[in-house]
């Protein structure tokens, strides 16, 4: 009887060790570099906050200073996506939009 219990214990130990042993796992991360950019040319006399609206998501890209140009990466929006661009003056008095923009590579956008 003792040898039978020892055998059962050994088999259970082998099963538990095999089932709970290390497993091969492959982990991949998304590209850390955005595939798309917006090149904003702000010709206004004041800075603007630039946003991308993709589906229900509004993504703040960055503030672009007055009379400057900036290349803004667009995170989490795949190349070929159709989005809406929005720029709001820092005083909130004016909003500029561009609808149905297809983002591929670097999209040039002049405000206003």
Determine the topology of domain 36-111 in CATH.
Immunoglobulin-like (2.60.40)
The model's pTM: 0.70
Contact yes or no for 88/94 (Cβ under 8 A): yes
Bridge partners for 96 per DSSP: 87
Domain range annotation of the chain:
36-111
Residue pLDDT, tens place only, 59-110: 999 999 999 999 999 999 999 999 999 999 999 999 999 999 999 999 999 9
Decide: helix, strand or coil at residue 22.
coil
Rounded Cα gap, residues 66 and 27, in angstroms: 43
103 exposed, middle or buried (CB, 10 Å; 0-12, 13-18, 19+)? buried
């Amino acid at each position: 009887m003792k040898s039978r219990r020892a055998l059962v214990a050994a088999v259970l130990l082998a099963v538990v060790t095999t089932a709970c042993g290390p497993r091969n796992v492959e982990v991949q991360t998304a590209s850390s570099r955005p595939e798309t950019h917006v090149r904003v040319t702000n010709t206004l006399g004041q800075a603007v906050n630039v946003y991308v609206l993709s589906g229900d998501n509004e993504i703040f890209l960055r503030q672009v200073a007055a009379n400057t140009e900036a290349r803004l990466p667009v995170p989490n929006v795949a190349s070929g996506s159709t989005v809406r661009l929005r720029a709001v003056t820092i005083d909130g008095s004016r909003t500029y939009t561009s609808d149905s923009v297809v983002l591929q590579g670097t999209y040039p956008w002049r405000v206003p």
